[in-house]
Structure 1
Amino acid sequence: MSEPASRPGVVVLDYGSGNLRSVVRAVERAGASVTLTGDFDTALAADGLVVPGVGAYAACMAGLRGIKGDRIIGRRLAGGRPVLGICVGMQILFAGGVEHGVETDGCDEWPGLVTRLEADVVPHMGWNTVEAPAGTRLFAGVEDERFYFVHSYAARSWDLVTNDRTAAPLVTWAEHGGDRFVAAVENGPLSATQFHPEKSGDAGAALLRNWVSSLA
């Protein structure tokens, strides 16, 4: 019998934000060997990096910068090493976020601001469908499933312009109360979801397996 393939090593980045244990368990179930740490070198060297996040944008960015997490993300992406952002961990990848009239700088991997949803009922909390684009790998097999969202803010436009030499990112959209927002992005080594795959049942588990399998 042949030996089973080794499990890819994933770091869930611990910077003081997110329901970290549930993310760790979900990524382990998806087939990865997971380390929960904020250590710079360990996060840099992992096969994959997951950046979770809950709460206020400014607080998440302060925690991230406190462990040089913005530099970890930037250096990983410069080397083509995969990163997955979840919820506020997706939002901080944009140029900035505006909460209560205060703008906070983000990691600026993508242009645009994260702003409050313009819907009658905020936060957007519960299960929702998404509009995944053709060619998606992240949503392969679960394009028509529902995912679990808990958020009041989102990227409500996609402002990145690419040239003919660069593959355009695949952007997945969702709608709440008539307001469309970015639900996920697949951009080379950088992927992110506004919803919580670790809370999204079988569909979320399948999405995480898709991501982990891409690390091989």
Structure 2
Amino acid sequence: MIIVIDYGAGNTANVLRALEKLQVKAELSSDKDKILSADGLILPGVGAFPAAMAELERRGLILAIKKAASKGIPLLGICLGMQLLTEKSLEHSETKGLGFIPGVCRKIPPEKGLPVPHMGWNDLILKQATPLTADLPNQSVYFVHSYFTDVPAAYIDVTADYSIEVPAMIHKDNVYGVQFHPEKSGTVGLRLLEKFVSLCKK
């Protein structure tokens, strides 16, 4: 069972719909026991980092997510969910993150002709291979975000060019993050989710 973590974040319906297309057994839940016994976890998210962390804290989910990851359960953060995997964010105010991957979430620097938020389709550039990156280089996926994860190169798997080299996929051990929306990225996104599910089955 794949658990899509429910903490009031947006876009969960689209994630569940994408998993349904893949005929994957998945459930939206904030039940700590289900999180700890899941085959894999997806942390979605649309919105602001401080509000998201406050809601995870309010629902008592931070410890459950950390325990699940420490057990080796694969975890995939999507968009804001990927940003939450880092140590902290500078969005609005400095806010502590889940701390799975070293780094800081920062605002994308504005550049003429490249408005923020970064919204739309961008090509992916492979930096290092992981179980999720096969068939991804030179594919185009859909982004909507104003902040990026400033993490060491060792944790960056894929980037996209948008005024800076935006980390599009990051990972450390069994924790993975995608800045783009696989559930809105057509066949390419579905293939990525399928690879994550395969990882969860191993």
Please give the range of the TM-score, normalised by the shorter of the 2 chains: over 0.9
Instruction: Describe the SS at the equivalent of 1:183.
Output: strand
2:30 corresponds to 1:45? no
| Corresponding position of 2:151 | 158
Percent identity for Structure 1 against Structure 2: 39
For 1:119 and 1:30, locate their aligned partners in 2 and report how far apart those are by CA, in whole Å: 38
Query: Which structure has greater helix proportion?
Result: 2
Instruction: Describe the SS at the equivalent of 1:215.
Output: helix
In structure 1, the gaps of 5 or more residues are 1-8, 161-167
Cα deviation, 1:111-161, whole Å, max 9, x if unaligned, reads 221010013210000000121234332121232211100000011x3238x
For 2:15 and 2:58, locate their aligned partners in 1 and report how far apart those are by CA, in whole Å: 21
Q: Whose radius of gyration is greater, 1 or 2?
A: 1
Contact 2:84 2:97 in 1 (8 A): yes
Instruction: Describe the SS at the equivalent of 1:17.
Output: coil
Matches of residues 16-165 of structure 1 in structure 2 within 5 Å?
Answer: 16-100=8-92, 102-120=93-111, 121-155=115-149, 157-159=150-152
Normalised by the size of structure 2, how large is the TM-score? 0.92
Runs of 4+ in 1 over 3 A off after TM superposition: none
Normalised by the size of structure 1, how large is the TM-score? 0.86
Contact 1:31 1:209 in 2 (8 A): no
1:181 positional shift: 2.1
1:170 positional shift: 5.2
CA RMSD, 1 decimal: 1.5
Equivalent of residue 192 in structure 2, options 203, 207, 213: 207
* Structure 1 range deviating more: 145-154 or 30-39: 30-39
| Corresponding position of 2:161 | 175
Distance 1:29 1:187, change over 3 A: farther
1:58 positional shift: 0.6
Contact 2:129 2:157 in 1 (8 A): no
- Number of equivalent positions: 198
